[in-house]
Structure 1
Amino acid sequence: MRKIISEFRLYLCNHLISHIPSHSIRLFYYRKIMNFKIGKGSTICMNCKFDAAKGLEIGLDSVINSGCRIDTRGNLKIGNNVSISEEVIILTADHDELFDHAQARNKEVVIEDYVWIGTRAMVLPGLHIKYGAVIAASATITKDVESCNVVAGIPAKFIKMRTNNFNYSARYRRLFQ
C-alpha cells in the first residue's frame, strides 16, 4: 500500500501539479508533499518532471525553468543563484553496465552557487559542477566542471574561463510559468 501511495504522489506531481500555473501551489506541494528543500526566492517553473520524492535541495534565488527532468533518487543539491534553463536533464541514478542484471546505482549531483546550465543540457550522475561554471546549451556533462569554467559540446569540453565577480540574483518568476 505504501508503494502505491508513493507512486500516486509522484504521478500527481508530474501530471497535475507541474501543470498548475501558480508558483505558490507548486512550491507548497513540492515542499510539503514531495519533501523537497527549496530556499527562499527559488522557483520551479511549470512542466518539470521528477523521478522521486525527497532528495532535492535548492538554495536561495535559484530557478529551474520549464520542462526539465530532475532525477532526485541519488540526491541533487543546487546552490544559490543557479539558473537551470528549459528542458535540462539532471540524472542522479544509472545502471552498472558490468552487471548482467543492470544493477541500479544512485550518485549524488552537486551544483554550486552562480552556475548557469543552458537549454537541453544533460548532467550525468555523480558529477560536481563548481562555483560560477557555465554549461552551454545542449552540452552533455560527463565529468566534473571546475569553478568559472565555460564548457560546451558532447561530451562537454572546456571553452574558456568566466570572471568570478558575481553579485546578481538568478531569481526569475513570471506569471503563469
Structure 2
Amino acid sequence: MIKSILTKAYYKINIIKHYFICNRISLDAEIGKDVIISKGAEYIGDVKISFGSTVGKGSYINSGIIQNTSIGEYCSIAYGVMIGLREHDHTFKTTSPVLAKIKYGDPELANLPRKRTSIGDGCWIGANCIIRQGLHIGKGAVIGAGSVVLKNVPDGEIWAGNPAKMIKARTNFD
C-alpha cells in the first residue's frame, strides 16, 4: 500500500518535472524512472511510460503503455497503444511471475529478458496497436490501427493486420 502511494507520488513529480519540457502533458500521464522526454515533445496524454523510455522532439502520444522504448522525433502515436511490454517465457515451468517467486524465489524467471524497442523518426502508430519488445520500426513507417507487430518494420513501409504484414511502401516520406 505504501509502495503504491509512493509510486503514484513519484509519477506526479515526474509530470511536474516534464511539464516545462513538453509542450503539453496530461495530468493523467505516468512518467517512470529514467524516462527522458526531449524538449519540444508535442503532447504526452494518458499514457504510462517507463523503464528508461525516450520520446523525441515533436512527437506526441495519446494514450497507452510504453516500456523500454526509444521513440524518435515527430512521431504520431494514437490511442491505446502497447509498445515494448514484458513477455512471459512460455518455455519455463510456469508463466506466472507470482508462482515463480513462490516456488523458485525469483519472479523474473517467468519473464523473457527485456529487449529495447525502437520507433524511428516520423512514424505513425495507429490506435490500439501492439508492438512486441525488441523490435525496430523504421523511419517514416506507418502501422495501421489494431495491428499486432511481431517483426521489424523497414523504413517507409505501411504495415497492418494481426499479425502485421507489409501492405505497401511509402514513396515519399521525410
TM bin, normalised by shorter chain, reads: 0.7 to 0.9
CA-to-aligned-CA distance 1:22-63 (integer Å, 9 cap, x gap) = 93585xx84xx733111122144332134x4x4111111111
The one-letter amino acid paired with 2:46 is N
Residue of 133, 137, 142 corresponding to 1:134: 142
Distance 2:159 2:25 in 1: 34
Matched, 1:23 2:24: yes
SS of the aligned residue for 1:11 comes to helix
Distance 2:43 2:7 in 1: 16
Distance 1:141 1:34 in 2: 26
Contact 1:38 1:57 in 2 (8 A): yes
TM-score with structure 1 setting the length? 0.72
Greater C-alpha radius of gyration? 2
Greater relative contact order, per chain length (Cα 8 Å cut-off, separation 6+): 1
Distance 1:144 1:24 in 2: 30
- Within a 5 Å distance, the mapping from 1:115-154 to structure 2 comes to 115-154=123-162
CA-to-aligned-CA distance 1:143-175 (integer Å, 9 cap, x gap) = 111111101110001100012442xxxxxxxxx
Residue 9 of structure 1, CA deviation = 4.6
Contact 2:46 2:64 in 1 (8 A): yes
Unaligned runs of at least 5 residues, structure 1: 167-177
Q: Structure 1 residue runs of 4+, over 4 Å off?
A: none
TM-score with structure 2 setting the length? 0.73
The one-letter amino acid paired with 2:119 is I
* Higher normalized strand content (fraction of residues): 2
Inter-CA distance 24–142: structure 2 relative to 1 (3 Å threshold): closer
Matched, 1:93 2:93: no
Report the more deviating stretch, 78-87 or 33-42.
33-42
SS of the aligned residue for 1:46 comes to strand
Residue of 70, 74, 78 corresponding to 1:81: 74
SS of the aligned residue for 1:45 comes to strand
SS of the aligned residue for 1:137 comes to coil
Number of aligned residue pairs: give it: 148
Contact 2:44 2:60 in 1 (8 A): yes
SS of the aligned residue for 1:77 comes to strand
The one-letter amino acid paired with 1:45 is I
User: What corresponds to 1:111 in structure 2?
Assistant: 119
Report the more deviating stretch, 38-47 or 92-101.
38-47
Contact 1:85 1:117 in 2 (8 A): yes
Q: CA RMSD in A?
A: 2.8
